Amino acid sequence: MLKAPDGRVVVTTDLLLEGRHFRRDWSSGYDIGRKAAAQNLSDVVAMGADPTGIVVGLGLPADAAAAWLDDLTDGFRDECDLVGASVAGGDIARCDLVVIGVTALGDLGGREPVTRSGARPGDVVAVAGRLGHAAAGLALLSAGRTGPAELVEAHRRPRPPYACGPRAAELGATAMLDVSDGLLQDLGHLATAGGVGLALVPEAFTIPYPLREAARLLGADPLEWMLSGGEDHALAATFPEGVRLPPPWTVIGRVVAGEGVRVPGRAPTAGGWDHFRK
């Protein structure tokens, strides 16, 4: 049982599959638990709500040791502790691969929920949190490298800017989501849901030093990681023109009439379709 003082509860769910979303040889049970909880707690704050708890459905192979399960549940709990949420229950079934279904609940604290559909032409587009770090970390691991450590660590364990979500709702965010699939793809969802276009300004992106270092090592484009890399769970939101956005929010573009996401020098990105989204 969880508290729902607002009288409304937001709820979000994600399914993580071994091999597809994580590898047990690249991430510890603890890190996988942290990450699985983080991506759902991040979805809750992206609606402007305060996470209250998670429940977990687990499919576990016979070869998963009890200690690994303990590590996983420690990871769930420690990530939840960051936002004052609890692990409220779960279910375990035997399965050939590790399956982790996490559902997170949140309380709106009297605020209206921020949806994906509220962006209006003239709004500014802003992001808070890291971009491209997890993707760079995965590219490094895939190339057999173990550093820069900050990026490999970012792949194993995201650090969503939790406090920025409810604060964005208070600042009047018109639409918001967390960047799980990649900035351009996720902003495409905002564009489609709002029936608007988004025009980004590449110069607004500051490329952090570890990303430049990893790009040099792998011969990659660091901006590409920031625009297309997922799993950092930054927040992306639109705000009315003229709003004063405190750090770490960075304005990266503007909402325009039209559709899709436009970045000068790149082909437009179309919005995606989510089976369960209205």
What residues make contact with a second copy under the rule CB under 8 A? 1-17, 20-21, 47, 53, 55-59, 69, 73, 87-97, 99, 101, 103, 105, 108, 113, 275-277
C-beta closer to a second copy: residue 212 or 277: 277
> Minimum distance between the CB of residue 96 and a second copy, rounded to whole angstroms?
8
Residue 57 backbone phi and psi in degrees, to 5: -105, 125
> Minimum distance between the CB of residue 55 and a second copy, rounded to whole angstroms?
4
Could you identify the residue written with the tokens 């089976």?
275
C-beta closer to a second copy: residue 52 or 269: 52
Element spanning 57, H or E: strand 50-60
C-beta closer to a second copy: residue 94 or 212: 94
C-beta closer to a second copy: residue 23 or 212: 23
> Minimum distance between the CB of residue 111 and a second copy, rounded to whole angstroms?
11
Residue 19 backbone phi and psi in degrees, to 5: 90, -40
C-beta closer to a second copy: residue 96 or 241: 96
Q: Please answer whether residues 178 and 185 qualify as being in contact, where contact means their C-beta atoms are separated by less than 8 angstroms.
A: no
Write the burial class of residue 115 (CB in 10 Å: 0-12 exposed, 13-18 middle, 19+ buried).
Answer: buried
> Minimum distance between the CB of residue 130 and a second copy, rounded to whole angstroms?
22
∠ Cα 63 69 74 (to 5°): 160
For 22, which DSSP code? B
> Minimum distance between the CB of residue 268 and a second copy, rounded to whole angstroms?
25
